[in-house]
Structure 1
Amino acid sequence: MLVRIITGIIGIAAAAFVIQTGGVVFAGFTLLLMLLAWFEYARAFSERGMGLALFTGFVVLGLTWYAAWQRPEYLALAWPLTVLITLLESVLMRSTTNIMEALASGAGLIYIGFPFVCLLQLRGMMPETVFNTDIGSFTFGCAFVWIMFIGTWASDTFAYFTGTAIGRHKLCPTISPNKTVEGFMGSLVGTTAAVAGLGYYLQLPLQEMAVLGLLIAVLATLGDLVESVAKRYVGIKDSGNIIPGHGGVWDRFDSVLFTAPLVYFFVQFVNLLGK
């Protein structure tokens, strides 16, 4: 537990530096995390004897990351090309890659890559809009990256403590035996309140921010469950051990893979600035 706490503190400090700095630092860390998560995903499926397109995935994700950062007009082509390229491997490399491996590769690249691309684009949104607070200034994108992470962490925290204190009814016992209905309800209430509180602090509309908090709690839980299903299928407990006490990058970002796209699209389709 001590190792987990120390690692968590170091991780939060590092995250604060990267998020606040933005620019090439944030973009670089986004790429690093995306590639590490893809490596863990591909390695996990190797436990079932499946050889996913590891190297092709690195190339495709790198090009997609570059498009998101520097040439976003090409992103519309990136995702269909990702699927087509991985499917073609089952034809061009049919002696080593079968169709199920190609499908798992294509799905994994979108599952891993798309959220990190959304996170990168979210950080760069509306840099001209700045929230000035008593703890510092935050651009629109920076503020909502924080809201996404804090909301996701709040969901996990409220679910854990509520479930530990009063959890009696299992939520999905065949997928994640420790999750309870009571914990999930605690996550809904706590995350909604946390995100609404952040909205109040930044003078954003409370009703819309409360809805965002509720959705973050739901999507964070689903993201966690999706990874649990995958890990049960391949027969592993953790996706890696790169983060002492916390497992791998995929383990730590399983919920973010769902909440990052949610927040990215929410702020685009919901008017939060009254303009």
Structure 2
Amino acid sequence: MLQRAIVAFTVGPVLLLAAYLGGWFYFIPLLLLLLVAGVEYAHIMRALKHNTPLWLLLPAIVALLAAAWWPYAWGPQWNLGGLALFISLFAALIYALWLFERGDTLDAALDWFALVGGIMLLGWVGSHFFLLRSLPENGWRWTTVAFMSIWTADMAAFLVGKYLTGRWPLGRHALAPRLSPKKTVEGYVAGVIAGPVFATLTALVLDLPLVLAGLAGLAVGVLGLFGDLSISLLKREAGVKDSGRLFPGHGGALDRLDSLIWAVAIVYYLVVYLGPLFT
């Protein structure tokens, strides 16, 4: 618990400060985190007997993140993000065909899908860290809302699951016992409540539309869990407890980004599509 608290109250403020500063201060830390997560993802795939070469995966992640970070990359003239995604997926296809033709594996199709999964998760979904931050109005503020929503939802779920499970009638209902035995229905409900509450409080401080922030926090609280469980699925099938050891008490970079990476994408699309209704 102490290790978790130290990491949370160190890494969290650093990322919030980076989101506020923007530019290289934001790009470099998240790029490094996502690259470490890419290495951890490849190790998990290796444990599952899938070929996921870092020399393909990591450059694809860098290309997609850089395209999203450059403010004009997604414009109609260039669309560098679309180009980076196309080249990355096509390179993954060629690699799978080459593997099969060489006879190095009998699961070339699964190797292809594993590589594409890493590119899409850490490259394309991960690019929303920068798409959200690059919004022309209030980008860093909405990024802060996304961070606070998922962190408070996760913390509420953890505290309820840790201190109520097995002690009171509450906290005894397992949510997904095969994927994550320690998660409880009560913890999930606590996260769903905490997400919109703290998103609204954050919006109040940052002078953002409260209703939209509340909806964003609710969506993150409800849906963020599935990002967490998706990495749990990979780890369970691979037979590993944590994706890595980067953060003591928390696991690896992939463990810390599993729900956050989806939270920023959720908030991005809500702000883009619903934001005009609240201005």
Q: TM-score, normalised by structure 1?
A: 0.89
**Alignment: residue pair count:** 263
Equivalent position amino acid for 1:108 in 2: G
Alignment correspondent of 1:137: none
Equivalent position amino acid for 1:35 in 2: L
Alignment correspondent of 1:150: 148
1:181 matched to 2:185:
yes
Alignment correspondent of 1:67: 67
Shift of 1:274: 4.0
Against the structure 1 CA distance between its residues 205 and 59, is the aligned structure 2 distance closer, same or farther, given a 3 Å change threshold?
closer
1:23 matched to 2:29:
no
Against the structure 1 CA distance between its residues 157 and 236, is the aligned structure 2 distance closer, same or farther, given a 3 Å change threshold?
same
Shift of 1:14: 2.3
Contact 1:87 1:103 in 2 (8 A): no
Partner of 2:127: helix, strand, or coil?
A: helix
Equivalent position amino acid for 1:167 in 2: G
Partner of 1:245: helix, strand, or coil?
A: coil
Contact 2:129 2:261 in 1 (8 A): no
Alignment correspondent of 2:119: 109
Alignment correspondent of 1:254: 258
1:200 matched to 2:204:
yes
Cα distance between partner residues in 2 of 1:46 and 1:56: 15
Shift of 1:273: 7.7
Cα distance between partner residues in 2 of 1:218 and 1:149: 15
Against the structure 1 CA distance between its residues 179 and 62, is the aligned structure 2 distance closer, same or farther, given a 3 Å change threshold?
same
1:220 matched to 2:262:
no
Shift of 1:30: 2.1
Cα distance between partner residues in 2 of 1:7 and 1:205: 31
Shift of 1:255: 0.5
Trace 1:1-275 onto structure 2 (pairs within 5 A).
1-70=1-70, 71-72=73-74, 73-94=79-100, 95=102, 96=104, 98-126=108-136, 129=137, 140-163=138-161, 164-165=163-164, 166-271=170-275, 274-275=278-279
Equivalent position amino acid for 2:80 in 1: Y
Cα distance between partner residues in 1 of 2:55 and 2:69: 21
Shift of 1:227: 0.8
Shift of 1:8: 2.6
Q: Extract unaligned runs of 5+ from structure 2.
A: 165-169
Contact 2:203 2:210 in 1 (8 A): yes
Shift of 1:264: 1.2
State the percentage of identical aligned residues.
Answer: 29
Cα distance between partner residues in 2 of 1:45 and 1:79: 21
Contact 2:212 2:271 in 1 (8 A): no
Cα distance between partner residues in 2 of 1:16 and 1:207: 22
| 1:60-113 alpha-carbon deviations (Å, 9 max, x no partner) | 122222222232322123334322221211112333462211111101210111
Shift of 1:116: 2.1
| 1:171-198 alpha-carbon deviations (Å, 9 max, x no partner) | 1111111111111111111212111222
Q: TM-score, normalised by structure 2?
A: 0.87
Equivalent position amino acid for 2:17 in 1: F
Cα distance between partner residues in 2 of 1:158 and 1:10: 18
Contact 1:191 1:213 in 2 (8 A): yes
Contact 1:30 1:116 in 2 (8 A): no
Cα distance between partner residues in 1 of 2:188 and 2:7: 26
Shift of 1:50: 1.9
Shift of 1:32: 1.1
Contact 2:148 2:202 in 1 (8 A): no
Measured on the aligned residues, the alpha-carbon RMSD in Å equals: 1.8
Q: Extract unaligned runs of 5+ from structure 1.
A: 130-139
Cα distance between partner residues in 1 of 2:217 and 2:193: 9
